[in-house]
Structure 1
Amino acid sequence: MRVMVFVKATEDSEKGLPPTAEMTEMFEAMGAFNEELVKAGVMIDGDGLKPSSAGKRIAFDGASRTVIDGPFAEARELVAGYWVWEVKDMDEAVAWAKRCPNPMPGPSELEIRPFYEMEDFGDALTPELAEREQKLRDQLAGQ
């Protein structure tokens, strides 16, 4: 089972604060945690994101596209970083997440969301569509 683990943003992470001694300790602890995830074969990918002030949103309405510049309101609803993990089930993902060092200097949250897998789509995913999707995944893996 693949899951995405979101590190939720905070007011501090949205300010893009410069590194401090406290943050250096947090980075060291997070690096050690990431090493554990990799050694266990759990971590597929992960990274931190710049504050939403550096981002853009694209709003869709039919054929219309509108670009919205950051920053975006409600820091607690934003994502400051992520991991992609391969786990046997949600219980294993929760167990790993509970071992995570606090990813922010103050109170923070992680959110775990499972990916859709091909079998989740049932008959809506025709053999032709499944083959096309697999070719794309194979291409990505080869890059």
Structure 2
Amino acid sequence: MKYALVIIETDESRRAIGRDRAGHRQAIADWMVEQGQAGILVDGQAFETESVPPVTVRKTANREVSVVHEPFAGEHETLGGYAVIEAATMEEAVKAASSWPTPETIEIRPIWTQG
């Protein structure tokens, strides 16, 4: 089964990036190579989180559209990217997420398949 590891930047992970951006990024790149070589990593991308702010579009109860130029959950946690992995069980997905090398929060979501 495929799982999305949703990478959530936190205040601590942003501090780590500020202290050593190149080292932070290299740790993630190394993790992706390792997981790819192990046959676990299927796909993944980082979101642009530094120079272009996110835009959140919501629909109200009466279907009006609300557009705000900020993260959907405020400033304390923002989406940093995702990785898609292949794992037999949620426990295996948790093991992979637990090996994430930097202080982001990782949310694991099974990817829905039709049928």
- TM-score interval w.r.t. the shorter chain? 0.7 to 0.9
| 1:75 matches 2:76 | yes
Change (3 A) 1:51 1:82: same
Return the letter of the residue paired with 1:68. V
Match of 2:113 among 106, 117, 120: 117
Structure 1 distance, partners of 2:67, 2:111, is: 27
Higher RCO (C-alpha 8 Å, min separation 6): 2
**CA-CA distance at 1:71 after TM superposition:** 4.9
Q: Is the 8 A contact 1:57 1:67 kept in 2?
A: yes
Normalising by structure 1, report the TM-score. Answer: 0.64
How far apart in 2 are the matches of 1:70 and 1:14?
A: 16
Computing the radius of gyration over CA atoms, which structure comes out larger, 1 or 2? 1
Query: In structure 2, how many angstroms separate the alpha carbons of the residues matched to 1:100 and 1:7?
Result: 10
Structure (1 or 2) with the greater helix fraction: 1
2:97 equivalent to 1:101: no
Equivalent residue pairs, number: 111
- Flag structure 2 segments of 5+ consecutive residues without an equivalent: none
Distance of 1:48 and 1:110 partners within structure 2: 13
1:51 positional shift? 3.0
Deviation at 1:113, TM superposition (A): 1.0
What is the RMSD of the two structures over their aligned residues, measured on CA atoms?
2.6
Whichever structure has more strand as a proportion of its residues is: 2
Structure 1 partner of 2:55:
56
> Offset at 1:100?
1.9
Which residue number corresponds to residue 38 of structure 2? 40
1:14–1:75 contact (8 Å) kept in structure 2: no
SS at match of 1:54: coil
